[in-house]
Amino acid sequence: MERDSNEHLARDGAAAIVTIGVVGAGTMGGGIAQVAARAGLDVVLIDQSESWLDRGLVAITADLERLVTKERITDERRDQILARIEGSTRIEHLAACDLVIEAVNESLPTKIEVFTSVSDIVAPEVILVSNTSSISITALAGSVANPERVAGMHFFNPVPVMKLVEVIRGLQSSDETVATVMALAERIDKTPVQVADAPGFVANRLLLPMINEAIFCLSEGVATAEDIDRVMRLGASHPMGPLALADLIGLDVCLGILEVLHGEFGDKYRPAPMLRQMVAAGRLGRKSGAGFHDHGGG
């Protein structure tokens, strides 16, 4: 009975959301803005840098253009989706949002800064969501008034394609907040799975040690990068091998997550020295043009 009424509240809560704010117009923030707009939500997309904002909007437009070329959507539908996304470099533009998702750099101080600025602007009951891949939702919630309105939505790259959203319940997240966020994930055509606020949640706690071990295999000369990836594609039916996946995620992001996991769980998550070297050398994967594989950028 209690559960039913919570589910109703949540559905009503998610249905009442008309406009969401997304802070950070990078790969994840742009992807989230795109899927939300496709689901009929109005989106205010914020980035502090004009050039990052433009890059984000260009990437969204290119993704939609691809769908037009494939005749999955019409020109008119593309224009409708784009018209629902308002880009801005001014965080004040979030004032009328019904829910805000931050997707900025994976750094606790940066995320806390965003959460405190946003909470000064939006109404006190507005749900604040983090797309963190490894930072504690409970720690983030502690930085704002009404921490019960904070939860995590961990999206996966590429956001328009990957169905999963891990919904993270912080220590103080209310039932209503979690249920509303679960319902919102469904509304934007994702499949939510609720997880506790533990380091790396579930997906990254499992994915990152596999990627790290693949890097150890490479550095120990067990096989070439191509063959390590081939083994997991053909032997475990993964859509892409672990080193290609690391290149997609970004090697700096992989290292950051492993450092959090290493700090919490100890030696089994120790980042491979080769990963540290690659990051130090600026070989960050697809975004820098080269990682474990060449992506046409040197």
Active site residues: 133, 154, 166, 204
- Closer residue to ligand 3HC in complex, CB, 87/285: 285
- Is residue 218 a contact residue for ligand 3HC (CB under 6 A)? no
Binding mask 226-245 for ligand 3HC (x = CB under 6 A): -------------xx----x
- Is residue 206 a contact residue for ligand 3HC (CB under 6 A)? no
Q: Which of the ranges 4-12, 17-25, 121-129, 150-158 carries the binding residues for ligand 3HC, by CB under 6 A?
A: 150-158
153-172 binders of ligand 3HC (CB under 6 A): 156-158, 160-162
- Is residue 204 a contact residue for ligand 3HC (CB under 6 A)? yes
48-87 binders of ligand 3HC (CB under 6 A): 63, 66, 70
> What are the phi and psi torsion angles at 24 (to 5°)?
110, 115
Distance CA(50)–CA(21), nearest Å, equals 17
- Closer residue to ligand 3HC in complex, CB, 169/287: 287
Candidates 37, 64, 85, 253: give the one binding ligand 3HC (CB under 6 A). 253
- The minimum distance between CB 137 and ligand 3HC, in angstroms, equals 14
- The minimum distance between CB 184 and ligand 3HC, in angstroms, equals 19
126-145 binders of ligand 3HC (CB under 6 A): 133
Environment class of 145 (CB within 10 Å of its CB; exposed 0-12, middle 13-18, buried 19+): exposed
- The minimum distance between CB 162 and ligand 3HC, in angstroms, equals 5
Residues 20, 24, 27, 30: is their CA dihedral positive or negative?
A: positive
- Closer residue to ligand 3HC in complex, CB, 94/244: 244
How many residues contact ligand 3HC, by CB under 6 A? 17
- The minimum distance between CB 165 and ligand 3HC, in angstroms, equals 11
Decide if 13 contacts 180 (C-beta within 8 A). yes
Distance CA(23)–CA(32), nearest Å, equals 10
Decide if 28 contacts 105 (C-beta within 8 A). no
- The minimum distance between CB 65 and ligand 3HC, in angstroms, equals 11
- Chain residues in the site for ligand 3HC (CB under 6 A): 63, 66, 70, 133, 156-158, 160-162, 204, 207, 239-240, 245, 249, 253
